[in-house]
Chains A and B, each alone.
Chain A
Amino acid sequence: MNCYKAKRLLSRYIDNELKDESLRLKLHEHLKACEDCQREFHSLIAVKRLIAQKEKIKLTKDFLETLKLNIQNEQAQIIKIRWLPEAGNLARKLIPVPAIIAAFMFFMVVARLNGVNPVEEYLYADLSDEDIGILSGYVDSSELLTEVIF
Chain B
Amino acid sequence: MDDNILIDKFLSGDKEGFEMLVKKYQNHVVNIVYSLAGRISEAEDIAQDIFMKVYNNLSSFNRKAQFSTWLYRISVNTTYSHLRGRKQFVPLENIKRENSIGKNSREQLESKEKSEIIKKAIAELPFKFRSVLVLKEIEGLSYKDIAKTLGCRIGTVESRLFRAREMLKSKLIPIYSEGGQK
B residues neighboring A (CB under 8 Å): 19, 22-23, 26-27, 30-31, 34-35, 40, 43-44, 47-48, 51-52, 55-56, 111-112, 114-115, 118-119, 122, 133, 136-138, 142-143, 158, 161-162, 165, 168-169, 172-173, 175-176, 181-182
Contacts and interface: CB of A to CB of B under 8 A. Distances in A.
A113 interface: no
Contact of A17 (B43, B142, B176): B142
A54 B158 contact: no
B48 A43 contact: no
Contacts of A55: 112, 115, 119
A42 B179 CA distance: 13
A44 B115 contact: no
Contact of B136 (A15, A64, A70): A15
A91 interface: no
A63 B182 contact: no
Contacts of A12: 143, 158
B27 A58 contact: yes
Contacts of A3: none
A11 B48 contact: no
Contact of A74 (B31, B52, B114, B165): B52
Given A46-B182, A53-B111, A63-B30, 17 more contacts: A12-B158, A42-B182, A43-B182, A44-B169, A47-B168, A47-B169, A48-B137, A49-B181, A50-B176, A51-B133, A54-B118, A55-B119, A56-B27, A57-B30, A59-B27, A67-B51, A67-B52
A58 B27 CA distance: 6
B139 to A, nearest CB: 11
A89 interface: no
